[in-house]
Structure 1
Amino acid sequence: MRLKDTSNNTDGFKQGSTAAKHYDYDTFGNLKVDRNKGITAMKYNHLNLPTEVVFAAGKITYLYTATGEKLQKKVTQGSSVVITDCVDGFTSSVRFARVNT
């Protein structure tokens, strides 16, 4: 529920919350909220793989095959979107900005 790092090692755990409870989990044990990393919500598919990670400033969505192989990662932050496609262990990224009309 809570973690405190007293090592003073800046390369290790980043203490981002002073709340009494840092983490929330669903009934399957999947992480739903991580106050240290600013994660406000997480959604999972039928294989318990994360499909959406929501932050205050944006979100990350993942797309998988029916067997759980990752096909795509999409990072949205404001009007910026970065899509990373994953095919047979190789990745390629495309960046673009949304235009509101």
Structure 2
Amino acid sequence: MNFKTPIAEQMRPQTLADMVGQSELLGPGKALRNIIKQHVNISLLLWGPPGTGKTSLAQIIAKENDYPFASFNASIDNKAQLNNIINAYKYQTFVLLI
């Protein structure tokens, strides 16, 4: 056990199979699961209270599709940092968590 990594990070699901809940979207043969598995490029707005799996799902989408993953915190980061992220991945599909 790594005591430097927060427990929530250690327990975070790593694959779609690890995700619990949202079976109407992520269950076998369901819409969002099919989109992820078929590597369809889409824009998603994930909304919900803390701890519901938004970040986990974004990271899983990136991992399972071999897309780069970047995060931007609108509270502490600035527009120049966002532009740097966008320019770094300008010509490829990537997952951006804001």
The question of a shared fold, defined as TM-score above 0.5 by the shorter chain, is answered with no
Give the structure with the higher percent strand: 1
What's the TM-score once normalised by structure 2's chain length? Answer: 0.26
TM (norm. structure 1) is 0.26
Q: Which of the pair is proportionally richer in helix?
A: 2
Larger Rg: 1
Structure number with greater CO (CA < 8 Å, separation at least 6) is 2
